[in-house]
Amino acid sequence: MRIDTLTISSPDITDLGDIPESFSADGGNDAPRLEVSGVPEGTRELVVIAHDPDAPLPDGFTHWVLYGLPPVDQVVDTAAATSGPNGAGKTGWYGPQPPAGHGRHHYYFWVYALDREVTGTPSREEFLRDYADAVIEQNRFVGHFQR
């Protein structure tokens, strides 16, 4: 795996900035817009995963899993993607909702460029286990949120 030309960003969340309340589970649960660029040659599929490693759970909390994204520079069309399970056992975006007073949490928005397509809708943990060898390149940006 490497980090080279592939990038992920959001016009709604500045890298290392605070996530606006409207994207939180309590404040509207709006899904942030995402943009991907610099897709490396040989990519068959893009995957996006949003994850909070600071959540007080053994594996943190997964907020979003998107599979089946075409291997092109794009504004991510979440309606056209396949959603995998989030940490609440549902599909789709589940906005930040850390325990009150738990401090500042880090929300990692990862993009993975794969050399093969994902089958089914694996969880974040299953994806990382079963597709690590298919990752050509990866990158991320981080947003912060606290209650």
pLDDT in tens, 32-69: 999 999 999 999 999 999 999 999 999 999 999 999 99
Tell me the C-alpha distance between 111 and 113, whole Å.
Answer: 7
Classify residue 13: in a domain, yes or no.
yes
Letter string b/e over residues 87-112, b meaning 16 or more CB atoms within 10 A of that residue's CB: beeeebbbbbbbeeeeeebebbbbbb
* The pLDDT value given to residue 4: 86
Classify residue 139: in a domain, yes or no.
yes
Domain count along the chain: 1
* The pLDDT value given to residue 2: 66
pLDDT at 1 over 70: no
Letter string b/e over residues 46-60, b meaning 16 or more CB atoms within 10 A of that residue's CB: bbbbbbbebbeeeeb
Classify residue 1: in a domain, yes or no.
no
pLDDT at 3 over 90: no
Classify residue 11: in a domain, yes or no.
yes
Tell me the C-alpha distance between 145 and 142, whole Å.
Answer: 10
pTM of the model: 0.96
β-pair type (17-18, 135-145): parallel
Classify residue 78: in a domain, yes or no.
yes
Range of the domain at 117: 7-145
| Domain at 72, CATH number | 3.90.280.10
